[in-house]
Amino acid sequence: MVTTGSPSSHVTPGKYLHFKGNTYEVLGVALEVTNGQPEVQKVVYRNNGGSLFVRTVEEFTEIVEWPDGSKMPRWVSLPALISKKE
């Protein structure tokens, strides 16, 4: 279960822009469960070619330097990015 306020609450399904310029579709957040290990939240996403990928929520939301020099999360929701520019 994902609780409000957890890092994954900021990662919702939809279109995202990667800092290198490609767009991806986030399908959701999954839990990796290994016997005896803590659960790890991972973002499940796909590229425009349909290939699926997973990355930890921490990596997905990590602050990186974009080509324009700004510091933002590695992936940014397209609707959030558009509203920020308006």
Residue 68 belongs to domain with CATH number: 2.30.30.320
Residue 43 belongs to a domain: yes
pLDDT at residue 3 in the model: 34
pLDDT at residue 9 in the model: 57
Residue 31 belongs to a domain: yes
State the residue for tokens 């959701």.
28
Residue 21 belongs to a domain: yes
Number of domains in the chain: 1
Answer whether residue 54 shows pLDDT above 70: yes
For residue 35, how far is the Cα from the chain centroid? 25
Q: What percent of the chain has pLDDT over 90?
A: 69
Residue 1 belongs to a domain: no
DSSP of 6-27, one letter per residue? SGGGG--SEEEEETTS-EEEEE
CA end-to-end span of the chain: 34
Dist CA 24 CA 17 (whole Å): 6
Closest CA to 61 of 71, 50, 46, 48: 71
Paired tokens of 30: 């999954």
pLDDT at residue 58 in the model: 93
Q: Domain residues for 63? A: 10-85
pLDDT at residue 84 in the model: 64
Residue 70 belongs to a domain: yes
Residue 16 belongs to a domain: yes
Residue 28 belongs to a domain: yes
* Phi, psi (rounded to 5 degrees) for 81: -70, -40
Closest CA to 29 of 4, 8, 46: 8
Residue 5 belongs to a domain: no
